[in-house]
Amino acid sequence: MPTLIALLQIAWWPGLPLLRGAALAPEWAGVAGVVALVTAMLLGWRHRRPALVALALEVLFSAGFWILPKEPHLLEPGDALMPAIVAMIVALFHVGAYHTRRTTALVIVGVLTFEAVETGVMEGFGGNVVVTPLLAAGVCSLAAALGYRRARRMREHTAAAGSHPRYWRRDRSATAEQVAQAWQAGSEAVSIERRRLVRELHDEAAHYLTSIVINASAAEVLGAERPDLRDQALKLATSTSRDAHTALNRLVDTLPFEGWPDAPTTDLATLVDDFRQLGQPVIADLPATAPQAAPAAAAYGIAREALTNILRYAPGGTVRLRFSYAGSEAELTVEDDGGDPDTSARTGLGSGRGVQGMRERAQILGGRLEAGPRPDGGWRVHAVLPFSGSTPTDAAVRAKLRWRLAVPTWSSVSRGVGRLLIPFAGPLVLSAALVSEFPPAAVTPTFLALLAHAAPLLLRRRHPWPAFAMVALTSWLGPLLIVTDLAPAESSGQFACLLMVELQAVYVLGSWGRPPALTWLGAVAAAVWSGAVLMVLVELDPAFTGEAGADQWTQQAMVGGVVALMAATLLFPPMFLIWLTGYAAWRRKRRRARDDGAIEAVRVRSAELARDERYRFAAGLRDVVLKHVAAIQSAAERDDLTAVVTSARRALAAMRVLLTRLGRDTAEPRAPALPAPGPASGDTLVTGTHPPAAARASPGS
């Protein structure tokens, strides 16, 4: 690319003027050659030092424009280095791709400042000092934004599949491989957990029970010869059984709830952000302060389980999460709308203990939990978690929190500036062009109308259809201003250039509109109303109407109707292509969310399998082994040595059965069948709606 740009510059100037026989001074041709050579050398460093390359190119081009003659060469004055400007766009593209938003913003500000100073020195500090930087701002911001978007997509696809974004088949294969690896890791985790449980049971209780059996049996056999052994055996049985009972109770009490997060309720915001990153829209209503740690940890665990179930059964559906507390109770509600009705439920990823685990978390605190289908579709989980004591309500804490929320960061500022530049770049550039042609009094209403036309795009993600309708309505502000003489009739051409706003609205509708199957109607509607607006603008243009008499208006109206029909016909293909681009972006987001949801669901399933082992193990200890250990202690207190031996042998036998059952049960769940990569399976890796109410109402999800 650097060599191509350099050759293009030399071919443009001085190549074309020399071919036309123009007389050029040798030093001018030398300057152009030096600029082309240095540009190519600087672009060679665009991947390593893009910011320095962009600033150096700005200085180089300013020096070239200052030295070279100002008369028009081909198109306009000072266009000798026009091809070299492409190098600046390439450099800013790499600045956005390789640097943070903060550095990118500083580089753009530096370039625009240099442009303003250069324009003021060369042409005088007048209106062009504002117009030229505004025009440059639109180009620079667009190039940097495209670079940043490209880099972000590359990072996402590299993290997900390690391949180029265009090779979506490789992405699908890599995702399927990650799911299989997650299942394999889950199987290994279950085996590791099973071996750990066996080891802990052996270390905690086996040697206790073995020592009781050996000592008590020896005391029985040698009781006649050594009466003192009986008392020693009973004392040993009492103390040892008590230690064994304590150790097993501790193991039983910790097993079912090992690994619960002890996180404050503010971590719910992080949890919500994590699920948003997986493509799950979550609307959160969280308090500014947190209750005590126990209800906060329980709320976190319940919310995580509920959001995981929604990610598994209804990916893409809107989720509402509310957490509040008053008095001595905290309430948590997680509900969803059921997801996309066109997809089917994905089964086989749940352990059957989801709802039960959430209910146990609430019951430990003396609370309650309700989970079930909503009347209007979807699923609802509502938990009430009591707590004692007061909650932190210190005014200083709240003031500090408000201060942190109020102080903007570089990331938020750059993100906000970028979102503003996208819809308003066109109006700003057009307004800058109007300033150089019309007086400020005539440009002000036009400028406000241009801003009003682009302003609905600020709502493009949350409310795509209302934003689309408002863009359609405000597109008539241009003709209205011309009819009411608030804008010059000669500005109708600039209003016609605002089709870029309509194109953005159609793209946003395809990317964010719901239901997706009907968003293509927006391309048709945009083509029709844009054609009508163009027809009216053509009718109002003096270059078209001239001094038409009353008898000619009918003819012009008929011609205008034909123009509107032709314009709508010609505008529909680009409108449809723009909509198709947005719709493809929506499909990519949905596919990525489902792929991430599949991997996350398998990971959650692996954790559930390990947790199930702990539950099963704890149940066996509680129901069998602990009963016999308690019988040992009771028999020792009664001085019944025979019963001590019998109970100890039974406890060992029960423990042996439990260990044997754990060792024999090695069959692991098989990974679900994954669709082969291909067009037919592009959206079937993870499917989404809720299963029937009866299925989810069963113990767990």
Domain boundary among 388, 406, 424: 406
**pLDDT over 90 percentage in the chain:** 9
**Do residue 401 and residue 285 come from a single domain?**
yes
Residue 89 near residue 111, CB atoms below 8 Å: no
The secondary structure of 438-453, three-state, reads CCHHHHHHHHHHHHHH
**Do residue 239 and residue 311 come from a single domain?**
no
How high is the mean pLDDT of the chain? 73
**Do residue 531 and residue 678 come from a single domain?**
yes
Written as six digits, the tokens of 320 are: 């509402």
Does pLDDT of 668 surpass 50? Answer: no
- Name every residue whose Cβ is closer than 8 Å to that of residue 624 and which is 6 or more positions away in sequence: 654, 657, 658
Provide, for the chain, the percentages of residues in helix, strand and coil under a 3-state DSSP scheme, each rounded to the nearest 5.
70, 5, 25
Q: 155 by DSSP, 3-state: which?
A: helix
Does pLDDT of 531 surpass 70? Answer: yes
**Do residue 620 and residue 480 come from a single domain?**
yes
Average pLDDT, integer, range 522-535: 89
Of the listed ranges 97-106, 336-345, 514-523, the least confidently predicted one is: 336-345
Does pLDDT of 368 surpass 80? Answer: yes
> For residues 501 and 123, which has the higher predicted lDDT (pLDDT)?
501
**Do residue 588 and residue 698 come from a single domain?**
yes
**Do residue 22 and residue 139 come from a single domain?**
yes
pLDDT tens, 386-435?
A: 875 444 444 444 454 444 444 455 555 556 666 666 677 667 666 666 66
Amino acid at position 345, single letter: A
The span from the CA of 454 to the CA of 471, in Å, is: 7
**Do residue 231 and residue 304 come from a single domain?**
no
Strands (E), 275-376: 282-285, 319-326, 329-336, 368-373
Residue 700 near residue 352, CB atoms below 8 Å: yes
**Do residue 189 and residue 305 come from a single domain?**
no
Domain boundary among 131, 153, 175: 153
Task: Tell me the residue range of the domain where 286 lies.
Answer: 267-406
> For residues 389 and 196, which has the higher predicted lDDT (pLDDT)?
196
Using DSSP bridges, classify how beta strands 282-285 and 319-326 pair: parallel, antiparallel or unpaired: parallel
Confidence tier at 277 by pLDDT (50, 70, 90)? low
> Which residues share a beta bridge with 336?
319
> For residues 134 and 93, which has the higher predicted lDDT (pLDDT)?
93
The span from the CA of 80 to the CA of 65, in Å, is: 8
H or E stretch including 400?
helix 395-406
The predicted structure's pLDDT at residue 262:
40
> For residues 449 and 294, which has the higher predicted lDDT (pLDDT)?
449
**Do residue 564 and residue 470 come from a single domain?**
yes
Q: 429 by DSSP, 3-state: which?
A: helix
Q: In CATH, what number is assigned to the domain containing residue 305?
A: 3.30.565.10
Residues constituting the chain:
701
**Do residue 654 and residue 530 come from a single domain?**
yes
pLDDT tens, 671-683?
A: 443 333 333 333 3
The span from the CA of 404 to the CA of 412, in Å, is: 13
pLDDT tens, 216-246?
A: 887 777 777 777 777 888 887 888 778 777 7
Residue 226 near residue 672, CB atoms below 8 Å: no
The span from the CA of 622 to the CA of 252, in Å, is: 7
pLDDT tens, 490-500?
A: 777 667 667 77
Written as six digits, the tokens of 309 are: 């179930």
pLDDT tens, 318-355?
A: 899 999 887 778 899 999 887 665 544 444 334 345 68
Does pLDDT of 383 surpass 90? Answer: yes
**Do residue 174 and residue 248 come from a single domain?**
yes
What's the number of domains the chain is made of?
Answer: 3
**Do residue 386 and residue 489 come from a single domain?**
no
Quick one: how many helices (H) and strands (E) in the chain?
Answer: 26, 5
Domain boundary among 358, 385, 406: 406
